[in-house]
Amino acid sequence: MSLKYTGTQINYYFICKRKLWYFSNYIQMEQESELVELGKFIHESSYPREKKEIRIDNTIAIDFAGNDKIIHEVKKSNKIEKAHIWQLKYYLYYLKQKGIPNVTGELNYPKLKKIEKVSLTDNNEKELKKIFSNIDEIINREVPPSPINKSFCKKCAYYEFCYV
């Protein structure tokens, strides 16, 4: 089972490999591990009967609502939607591995009044395994990948490690 990765690592893999390297090796600007939160959640509520909610970093909410087996993540913007989608697919994979199959996901963008449905296919699972392997290769490098010079770098918590 490949459940050692955090959702943040899957997310950063799509946003910036350098950010993934910093986060995974020694400099974690975001303290809360959503994997720990998710683990607690699963432990407390395999097949929950009531609505549960986990809030992480005040920006991510994972809800497991009643019996409809849909987990929700609330995001502010869809600029990095691919990263959001794969992070959620990873949660679906994680739940499946923990014995909670057939869960689907929804990305909710309240500001955009948009909902993106997310599911986990067999091909996605194969792709996730490649992603895990790529993540291992990246984070085991002795030096981080090069900076990517994107406009969002200025908002990144690791900016000073890349450009100052």
24 binds ligand SF4 (CB under 6 A): no
* Shortest Å distance, C-beta 79 to ligand SF4: 13
* Shortest Å distance, C-beta 22 to ligand SF4: 6
138 binds ligand SF4 (CB under 6 A): no
Answer for which of 5, 7, 8, 16 binds ligand SF4 (CB under 6 A) is 16
Site for ligand SF4, residues 143 to 162, rule: CB under 6 A: 147-148, 150, 153, 156, 158-159, 162
User: Residue 44: how many CB atoms within 10 A of its CB?
Assistant: 9
Would you list the DSSP string of the chain?
Answer: ----S-HHHHHHHHH-HHHHHHHHHT--SS---HHHHHHHHHHH-SS-SS-EEEEETTTEEEEE-TTS-EEEEE-S-STTHHHHHHHHHHHHHHHHHTT--S-EEEEEEGGGTEEEEE---HHHHHHHHHHHHHHHHHHTSSSPPPP---GGGGG-TTHHHHH-
Answer for which of 6, 9, 19, 75 binds ligand SF4 (CB under 6 A) is 19
Residue that is written with structure tokens 């009967």 in the block: 49
* Shortest Å distance, C-beta 10 to ligand SF4: 16
The residue among 123 and 151 lying less far from ligand SF4, judged by its C-beta, is 151
* Shortest Å distance, C-beta 145 to ligand SF4: 8
Answer for which of 11, 18, 37, 84 binds ligand SF4 (CB under 6 A) is 18
